[in-house]
Amino acid sequence: MRDKIYNFMRTRYGNDQFSSFLTWMGLILIIIDVWAKTGVLYFLGLASFIYGYVRIFSKKYDKRAAENKWFLSHTTGVRNVFKRMKKSKEAGKDYKIFTCPRCEQMIRIPRGKGRIEIRCPKCGNTFIKKS
C-alpha cells in the first residue's frame, strides 16, 4: 500500500507555497462562513481548497511551477513583512533588527548601545540609528 501511494505521488507536482496558501485560505474562508452564514464565502473557500489539491495532484510540472513563481513574485512584500516580524520576535530583548535604507538588508544590532553608526555588510552603506 505504501509503495502504491509513493508511486502515485512520484509523478505528481506535490505541495508548494501557492498550494499551501490556497488550501489554508480555503479553510479559513470556510470557518469564517460558519459565523457569517453567507454562502459566498463557503463557495470561495471550497473552490480555493479544491484548487489547492488539484495543484498538488497535477502532472503538469511546468504550469504549476510557473504559477508558483508568479505567486511568490507578487507576494514578496507581504512575505517580507511577516519575515521581519518573525526575525524581530526571535531576536527578542538582546538585539534590534534594522533594515538598510539602500538595499533593505536586515541587520541585527545589540540593544543598549545608544546612537550608533551602522554599516551594511551587503552594500557598505552607513546610517545612524538608536539601538
Scored b (16 or more CB within 10 A) or e, 97-129 reads ebebeeeeebbeeeeeeeeeeeebeeeeeeeee
Euclidean distance between CA atoms 18 and 80, whole angstroms: 16
Residue 10 has pLDDT above 90, yes or no: no
| pTM, rounded to two decimals | 0.66
Residue 127 has pLDDT above 80, yes or no: yes
Q: What's the rounded mean pLDDT across residues 46-65?
A: 92
Domain boundary assignment for the chain: 2-74, 85-130
Q: What's the rounded mean pLDDT across residues 29-44?
A: 92
pLDDT at res. 86: 86
Q: Per residue in 62-116, pLDDT tens?
A: 999 999 999 999 999 899 888 888 887 877 778 888 889 888 888 888 888 889 9
